[in-house]
Amino acid sequence: MKSSFVSPQSSDRTLAILSFHKIGQPSVNGWDTWFYIPEATFADYLNCLHENDWHVIDLETFLRSLAVPDSLPRRSVLLTFDDGYQSMRHVALPWLLRFGYPAVLFVPSDFIGGRNWFDTDDEPEEAMCDWDDLRELERCGVSVQSHGASHQRFSELDLAQQKDELIRSKAVLEEGLSKPVTVFTYPYGDGGVDPRVQRNMLEQVGYVSACLYGGGPMRLPIADPYRLTRVAMGPDTDLQAEREQGGTHLNAHTKKYLMVNADDFGLSAGVNRGIIEAHEHGIVTSASLMVRWPDAAKAAAYSREHPDLSLGLHIDLAEWAYRNETWVPLYQVVPTDDITAVANEVSSQLATFRDLVGKDPTHLDSHQHVHLQEPVRSVVVEIARMRAVPLRECSPKVHYCGEFYGQAAEGWPFPDAISVDWLINILAKLPPGLTELCCHPGYPPGLDTMYCSEREVEVQTLCDPRVRAAMVAMGIELCSFSNIAAIIEELDEREY
């Protein structure tokens, strides 16, 4: 997926604020995530800017441009780094010095010299810069600014708590570094509920600008210095400059689109009710229909009357449950190792889907992800290819997220993973581009399945207004499988 933002014409000026987190490899016993950028990739990004005449500016130059936009070069870049990991000093800084590039580092003051305890449920534990590190970074041209005190989402704090975050972090950093701190970046890109209130508070405390997370470059003059968009940088960001008709293009994956897909539509009346509620009052945009169950007809009828809920086929070949320390089948439609039987059954379920819904599915997936194992995978991949529809975890242009699920691998309860906090944290870490978030909302009556009471909790979480508010603050756009082709085309061709 490529999207591009176009360099300004002769009378325009463009500022791109790039946002990095971790440069280098995870720590020992850690694991790789999208927020780690290999050192070689980071060096390539800097070289890309250098070779294509993008001027990397320092914070002082940026702040001056807020009042005097014409003071900036026509193509300007501000390099920013969030959180203050030690890789900033030991990996990123040597490369910045080689290129002679300044930068800005946003640190949460409560974690200076500690670890990233604010997100170790989702990210590997890493050491954070201490005061000696921060002073050395300052000496080498990296301006240290505020990322709050405790790295909490502003939409979850009351106004007094928000103000305390702003005041406390500013005071700690100014005392420790003996310099003014005037720029703030919202943790998780969560800019609070009311931009006007946030701006007034930031101005009162003494900040002159604030950054969000995500978005694209900005044309000057900047409309709102307290809602600055930043290009989210990861290992797969396309930052290649090209020359076309005398113009320089800087490409980047920036926009985030989210499809929230509810599995098991048609399984029972209670599941149908939960999915419909999460669609009408929450963030569910798509569903996957199990055509073999008695309530499938009612689910299909609802989808015909509500075309904004895109409907795919949830291929149903078997279900297993973990009991007495082993997996046992609750039912099996056909032997999943018999490729002929699998092909016939999938074709039959597709035909039933068309009879019930009156059209082909917008996407394909399967109950308990059976399509990820051979020989089912080969059968379903070919069907998806022939019908030109996405297949879960097999379509390179759609990232799959299955982290919103209330049980551990062997069925043990994991209620935290379907809480509002957990879901907002998932949203904060979405990569740019298209993501499918899987969910299982519903109500328990009539279900004989491992995943039962958790479904009702999912309904509540998916409908919680804090979730939608967080999405708005993070610039995440909801979409469905029905309009996926148009979105992919936009990501491929759109020019900023």
Read off the pLDDT of residues 18-37 as tens digits, 9 standing for 90 and up.
Answer: 999 999 999 888 888 889 99
Residue 247: the pLDDT is: 30
CATH architecture of 256-493: Alpha-Beta Barrel (3.20)
* Mean per-residue pLDDT, 115-130: 90
Given a contact cutoff of 8 angstroms between Cβ atoms, the answer to whether 222 and 235 are in contact is no
Topology alike, domains 4-251 and 256-493: yes
Amino acid (1-letter code) at residue 308 = D
Q: Which position has the higher pLDDT, 288 or 11?
A: 288
Residue 314: the pLDDT is: 97
Burial 370-403 (b: 16+ CB within 10 A, else e): bbeeeebbebbeebbeeeebbbbbbbeebbbbee
* Mean per-residue pLDDT, 202-225: 89
pLDDT interval class at 495 (50, 70, 90): very low
* Mean per-residue pLDDT, 273-293: 96
Distance CA(444)–CA(456), nearest Å, equals 7
Helical H segments across 182-268, by residue range: 195-205
Residue 256 pairs with which residues in a beta bridge?
A: 433, 476
Residue 356: the pLDDT is: 97
pLDDT interval class at 493 (50, 70, 90): low
Cβ neighbour number for residue 247 with a 10 Å cutoff: 11
Residue 9: the pLDDT is: 37
Is residue 65 pLDDT above 60, yes or no?
yes
Kindly report the average pLDDT of the chain as a whole number. 88
Percentage of the chain beyond pLDDT 90 is 63
Given a contact cutoff of 8 angstroms between Cβ atoms, the answer to whether 127 and 115 are in contact is yes
For residue 412, the Cα-to-chain-centroid distance in whole angstroms is 27
Is residue 485 pLDDT above 90, yes or no?
no
Q: Could you tell me which of 418, 411, 416, 413 has the C-alpha nearest to residue 450?
A: 411
Distance CA(122)–CA(388), nearest Å, equals 34
Residue 301: the pLDDT is: 97
- Ranges of each domain in the chain: 4-251, 256-493
Distance CA(45)–CA(41), nearest Å, equals 6
Is residue 265 pLDDT above 60, yes or no?
yes
- 222 is written with which tokens? 């900047």
How much is the pTM?
0.55
pLDDT interval class at 249 (50, 70, 90): very low
Homologous superfamily in CATH for domain 4-251: Glycoside hydrolase/deacetylase (3.20.20.370)
Does the N-terminal peptide bond of residue 415 adopt cis geometry, omega within 30 degrees of 0? Answer: no
Residue 473: the pLDDT is: 67
Query: Is 486 exposed, middle or buried, given 0-12, 13-18 or 19+ CB atoms closer than 10 A?
Result: exposed
Which residues 6+ apart lie within 8 Å of 291 measured at CB?
Answer: 266, 313, 316, 349, 352, 353, 356
Kindly report, residue by residue over 200-213, the tens digit of the pLDDT. 999 999 999 999 98
Is residue 255 pLDDT above 80, yes or no?
no
Residue 431: the pLDDT is: 81
